[in-house]
Amino acid sequence: MASYRIDVTEEAKADLSHYTVFERKLVVSEIRKQLTNEPLIETKNRKSLRDNPIAAWELRIDKYRVFYEVKEAAGMVSIVSVGHKEHNVLFVRGKELEI
């Protein structure tokens, strides 16, 4: 089982900066745990998304949502965006976002 390298885009870093240090540590820890190996396998916390403008995959961490793309040939997971859900509404950087 090959290990994937995790790349965080500048946009995703800006998204993370809107959360507390505790929240960031929780999200980053789960990203490493969940996406380093087999990021293309659906689990109860990971799923492939229908066509949308953000990303092909979503990782759910409590109320937080991590959107990512996988470049299988390069062995890389690219974190595209990080947000959180309140009820059925997704917020990224404090703004409501449609997916």
Whichever domain contains 25, its CATH number is 3.30.2310.20
Has residue 97 been placed in a domain?
no
Has residue 95 been placed in a domain?
no
The pLDDT tens digits for 27-52 are 999 999 999 999 999 999 999 999 88
Strand locations in the chain (E): 5-8, 46-48, 57-61, 64-71, 76-86, 89-92, 95-97
R_g over Cα of the chain: 13
Question: How high is the pLDDT of residue 74?
Answer: 94
**Which domain does 73 fall in, by range?**
5-89
Q: Does residue 73 carry a pLDDT above 80?
A: yes
Has residue 82 been placed in a domain?
yes
Neighbours of 67 (CB within 10 A): 23
Has residue 94 been placed in a domain?
no
Question: Considering the chain, what is the average pLDDT of its residues?
Answer: 94
Q: Does residue 99 carry a pLDDT above 80?
A: no
Q: Does residue 16 carry a pLDDT above 90?
A: yes
Distance, CA of 84 to CA of 82 (rounded, Å): 7
